[in-house]
Every structure is written in structure tokens, then in C-alpha cells.
Chain A
Amino acid sequence: AQKVTQAQTEISVVEKEDVTLDCVYETRDTTYYLFWYKQPPSGELVFLIRRNSFDEQNEISGRYSWNFQKSTSSFNFTITASQVVDSAVYFCALSGGPGLYNQGGKLIFGQGTELSVKP
């Protein structure tokens, strides 16, 4: 069975602090994809990043960085120098491989981490 665990329900930081959101996943697939989405107070889900299981390179995009480690089944997300606009719920998600009938693609979401950045 596939599962995504985001153990941190809520995190509160002060602006300019660095913060790391943890994500641990379970899957038996050898090919899989990992995602992070942001859900600001307005409610929409915004895509942030996608990683496939064969690419363990860390990625940096501005103040955002992601650390993918297959050995620990983790895909953690770090925000450097946090800002008030980063306040949102962040979801980690897993998508399995294509399967026998190419039916892959559906997302299994973690429960989300609510990040509050205070000025």
C-alpha cells in the first residue's frame, strides 16, 4: 500500500527563520513520483515540485529547496528566510508508477503541514 506521512501538523516560525517540512512515504513501486503542493488561505492547490524516483538530486528554487533521500524514504522541503506570504498548508504527495494498464498518476496525499509565519 502507498502512504504519505507528514508528522508535523502545525509549525509556527518568525519571519526570516528557516523551516523544514518533513515528508516520509511508503511504496512498493520501483518507479514513483513525489510532489509538493501549497494551499494558501484562499484554498487553491498550487504545484511546487515533482521528483521521480530515479532522480535523487536535491533541488533549489529561490528560497525553496527539496531533499530527496530514497534510503530513508523522505522528501523534505525547506524554506529559507521564511516570509509571511509562505503561510499556508503544504502537502506532500506520492504517485505510483504506470501499473500494468498504465493507470498510474493518482496522487496519495499526506495530511498536510500548516505553516504559520509571523512578522
Chain B
Amino acid sequence: DARVTQTPRHKVTEMGQEVTMRCQPILGHNTVFWYRQTMMQGLELLAYFRNRAPLDDSGMPKDRFSAEMPDATLATLKIQPSEPRDSAVYFCASGDQSGTVSYEQYFGPGTRLTVT
């Protein structure tokens, strides 16, 4: 049963520290998404990649967030420096967006980030 994996599952850090979250998408999926969930904003897209190329990162605060996909089995989301308002659950999802069809996305368990 293929699943998206995310590490760490929980992270507590102090303001100003660097945070790196990792995601392993389902093998064979060509699109990887990063979403953030907060009580106030709900679920919102931060960035996504297709065939490892970034397609849209307009949802990310550019000055402190960066997303990369160094290879097909790893996506990373980095926050530097972190701030208390970044506290949220960060989800990675992967899907197979073949041609012009949008298929379902499968979500990882999330990384719960707390910035104090």
C-alpha cells in the first residue's frame, strides 16, 4: 500500500531557527504539492512541482520559505528564519497529473510545526 511519507511528524523550534521538512512522494507520481493547514486560513497551497520542476510557489512567503525537489523521491520545504506565525500542519501530497487530467492527490501524515 503505497503512501506519502513525511518527516519529522512533529517539530518544536524557537523563533529564528531553520526548519526543514521532508517528503517522499508515492513512487511514479509526477506531481508533488505542499499545503499548510491552520485554523484561520484552512488548507492552502504553498507550492508544487511537476516532474521535479517548480510550477507555482505563489502561496509561499518568498523571503523565508523555499521548496525544492532534489530528486524524484524527495521534496523539501525549508523555513529560514522561522516565526511563530509559521506554526501549522504542513502536508505533502503527490499525484499523477498525466497530460491534461487532474487525478486525486494522496496526502502524507503531515508535519506539525510549533514555533515558540
Are A105 and B104 in contact (CB-based, < 8 A)?
A: no
**What residues of chain B lie closer than 8 Å to A33, measured between beta carbons?**
102
Counted as pairs of residues, one from A and one from B, with CB atoms less than 8 Å apart, the total is: 67
B residues apposed to A, CB below 8 Å = 31, 33, 35, 42-45, 48, 50, 55-56, 89, 91, 93, 95, 97, 99-110, 112
Q: How many angstroms between the C-alpha atoms of A86 and B111 in the bound complex?
A: 24
B95's nearest neighbour on chain A, judged by CB, is A105
A residues apposed to B, CB below 8 Å = 31, 33, 35, 37, 43-47, 50, 52, 91, 95-98, 102-112
Are A95 and B102 in contact (CB-based, < 8 A)?
A: yes
Are A50 and B103 in contact (CB-based, < 8 A)?
A: yes
Q: How many angstroms between the C-alpha atoms of A47 and B93 in the bound complex?
A: 11
Shortest distance from the beta carbon of A12 to any chain B beta carbon, whole Å: 20
**What residues of chain A lie closer than 8 Å to B110, measured between beta carbons?**
43-44
**What residues of chain B lie closer than 8 Å to A98, measured between beta carbons?**
99-102
- Consensus secondary structure, chain B interface: strand
Are B43 and A105 in contact (CB-based, < 8 A)?
A: no
Shortest distance from the beta carbon of B86 to any chain A beta carbon, whole Å: 18
**What residues of chain B lie closer than 8 Å to A46, measured between beta carbons?**
107
Q: How many angstroms between the C-alpha atoms of A98 and B91 in the bound complex?
A: 23
Are A91 and B43 in contact (CB-based, < 8 A)?
A: yes
Q: How many angstroms between the C-alpha atoms of A91 and B42 in the bound complex?
A: 10
Are A106 and B43 in contact (CB-based, < 8 A)?
A: no
B9's nearest neighbour on chain A, judged by CB, is A43
**What residues of chain A lie closer than 8 Å to B93, measured between beta carbons?**
45
**What residues of chain B lie closer than 8 Å to A107, measured between beta carbons?**
33, 35, 43, 45, 105
**What residues of chain B lie closer than 8 Å to A104, measured between beta carbons?**
97, 100, 102
Shortest distance from the beta carbon of B43 to any chain A beta carbon, whole Å: 4
Shortest distance from the beta carbon of B2 to any chain A beta carbon, whole Å: 13
**B91: contacting residue among A45, A105, A110, CB under 8 A:** A45
**What residues of chain B lie closer than 8 Å to A95, measured between beta carbons?**
102
A97's nearest neighbour on chain B, judged by CB, is B100
**What residues of chain A lie closer than 8 Å to B107, measured between beta carbons?**
37, 44-47
Q: How many angstroms between the C-alpha atoms of A52 and B104 in the bound complex?
A: 11
Most chain B CB within 10 A, of A43, A50, A108, is at A43
